[in-house]
A and B are shown apart, each in its own frame.
Chain A
Amino acid sequence: MDVNNPYSENQQGPFRVIGTRPVRPDDTLKVTGQAIYGVDVQLPDMLYGAVLRSPHAHARILSIDTRQALALEGVRAVITAADLPDMSEKIAEMGDSQRYQNDNILARDKVLYYGHAVAAVSAASAHIATEALGLIQVVYEVLPPVLEVQQAMAEGAPVLHAGLRTDEEGMKGESPTNIASHMQTLHGDPAKGFAQAAVIVEREFHTSAVHQGYLEPQNATALYAANGQITIWCSTQGSFSARDSVAEILQIPAARIRVIPQEVGGGFGGKNRVYLEPLAALLSQKSGHKPVKMVMHHHEVLAATGPAAASWIRVKMGAGRDGRITAATASIAFAAGAFPGSTVGVAMGTILGHYRIENLQIDGYDVVTNTPWSSSYRALGATNAAFASESVVDELCEKLGMDPIEFRLINGVREGDPRSNGRPYARIGFLETLEAARAHPHYTSPLTGSHQGRGVAAGYWGNAGGRSTASASINSDGSVSLVTGSIDLSGTRMTLAMQLAETLGITVEDVKATVADTDSIGFADGSWGSRTTFSTGWAVYELGQNLIRLLSQRAAEHWQVPAAQVSFTGGIFTVGDQKLGFKELAARLNEHIPVMASAAVNPDGVGPAFAVHLVDVEVDPETGGVKILRYTAVQDAGKAVHPAYVEGQMQGGTTQGIGWALNEEYIYDEAGRMLNASYLDYRIPTCSDLPAIDTVIVEVPNPGHPYGVRGVGEMSIVPPPAALANAIHAATGLRLPRLPMSPARILEAYEAEEINEI
Chain B
Amino acid sequence: MPSKVQVHAQINGNPVEFACEPRQSLLEVLRDELGLTGTKVACESGNCGACTVILDGLPVNSCLVLAVEIEGKAVTTIEGIAPADGLHILQQKFLEHTALQCGICTPGFIVSAKALLDRYPDPSEQQVRYWLAGNLCRCTGYDKIVRAVLDAAACLRSPG
A643 to B, closest residue via Cβ: B98
Interface residues of B in 16-56 (CB under 8 A from A): 21, 23-24, 31-32, 35-45, 47-48, 50
* Chain B residues, CB < 8 A from A648: 98, 101, 139-141, 144
Task: Indicate with 1 or 0, residue by residue over B116-141, a CB within 8 angstroms of chain A CB atoms.
Answer: 00000000010011101111111111
Contact B144 A687 (CB under 8 A): no
B residues lining the A interface (CB < 8 Å): 1, 21, 23-24, 31-32, 35-45, 47-48, 50, 77-79, 81-82, 87, 91, 94-98, 100-107, 110, 125, 128-130, 132-146
A690 to B, closest residue via Cβ: B142
Instruction: Give B14 Cβ to nearest chain A Cβ, in Å.
Output: 16
Contact B143 A692 (CB under 8 A): yes
Is A74 on the interface with B (CB-CB < 8 A)?
Answer: yes
Instruction: Give B89 Cβ to nearest chain A Cβ, in Å.
Output: 11
Is A198 on the interface with B (CB-CB < 8 A)?
Answer: no
* Chain A residues, CB < 8 A from B135: 687
Instruction: Give B51 Cβ to nearest chain A Cβ, in Å.
Output: 11
Which among B97, B100, B101, B138 has the highest number of chain A CB atoms within 10 Å? B138
Interface size on A, residues (CB 8 A): 60
* Chain A residues, CB < 8 A from B102: 214, 216, 263-267, 489-490
> CA A688 – CA B105 in complex, angstroms?
16
Lowest 3 A-B CB distances belong to which pairs? A33-B38, A265-B104, A30-B103
Assess A265 versus B103: contact at CB under 8 Å? Given A31-B91, A652-B138: yes
Where chain A touches its partner, the secondary structure class is loop
Instruction: Give B11 Cβ to nearest chain A Cβ, in Å.
Output: 13
Contact A23 B96 (CB under 8 A): yes
Contact A688 B133 (CB under 8 A): yes
Contact A678 B139 (CB under 8 A): no
Assess A693 versus B143: contact at CB under 8 Å? Given A32-B82, A33-B37: yes
Within 8 Å by CB of B40, from A213, A265, A679, lies A265
> CA A306 – CA B82 in complex, angstroms?
38
Question: Which of these binds chain B: A37-45, A55-63, A349-357?
Answer: A37-45
Assess A263 versus B103: contact at CB under 8 Å? Given A32-B82, A679-B43, A687-B135: yes
B110 to A, closest residue via Cβ: A31
Assess A688 versus B130: contact at CB under 8 Å? Given A32-B38, A37-B40: yes
A490 to B, closest residue via Cβ: B101
Interface residues of A in 678-718 (CB under 8 A from B): 678-680, 684-690, 692-693
> CA A440 – CA B136 in complex, angstroms?
30
Within 8 Å by CB of A295, from B41, B82, B94, lies B41
Within 8 Å by CB of B45, from A266, A267, A680, lies A680
Contact A33 B79 (CB under 8 A): yes
Is A100 on the interface with B (CB-CB < 8 A)?
Answer: no
Contact A215 B82 (CB under 8 A): no
Is A651 on the interface with B (CB-CB < 8 A)?
Answer: yes
> CA A535 – CA B105 in complex, angstroms?
28
Contact A651 B133 (CB under 8 A): no
> CA A74 – CA B35 in complex, angstroms?
22
* Chain A residues, CB < 8 A from B31: 40
Contact A73 B1 (CB under 8 A): yes
A-B contact pairs, 30 of them (CB 8 A): A27-B95, A27-B103, A31-B95, A31-B110, A33-B36, A33-B107, A42-B32, A42-B35, A212-B138, A215-B104, A216-B42, A263-B104, A265-B40, A265-B42, A266-B102, A297-B44, A489-B101, A489-B102, A491-B101, A645-B98, A647-B144, A648-B141, A678-B45, A679-B48, A686-B133, A687-B128, A690-B129, A690-B141, A690-B142, A692-B125
Is A68 on the interface with B (CB-CB < 8 A)?
Answer: no
Assess A36 versus B100: contact at CB under 8 Å? Given A27-B95, A655-B142, A692-B146: no
* Chain A residues, CB < 8 A from B101: 489-491, 645, 648-649, 652
> CA A34 – CA B103 in complex, angstroms?
11
> CA A213 – CA B43 in complex, angstroms?
11
Assess A678 versus B43: contact at CB under 8 Å? Given A214-B138, A266-B104: yes
Interface residues of A in 14-37 (CB under 8 A from B): 21, 23-24, 27-28, 30-37
Given contacts A213-B138, A215-B136, 12 further A-B contacts (CB under 8 A): A42-B37, A127-B21, A215-B40, A263-B102, A265-B42, A265-B104, A647-B144, A678-B47, A679-B43, A679-B47, A687-B129, A688-B132
Is A99 on the interface with B (CB-CB < 8 A)?
Answer: no
Is A654 on the interface with B (CB-CB < 8 A)?
Answer: yes
A654 to B, closest residue via Cβ: B141
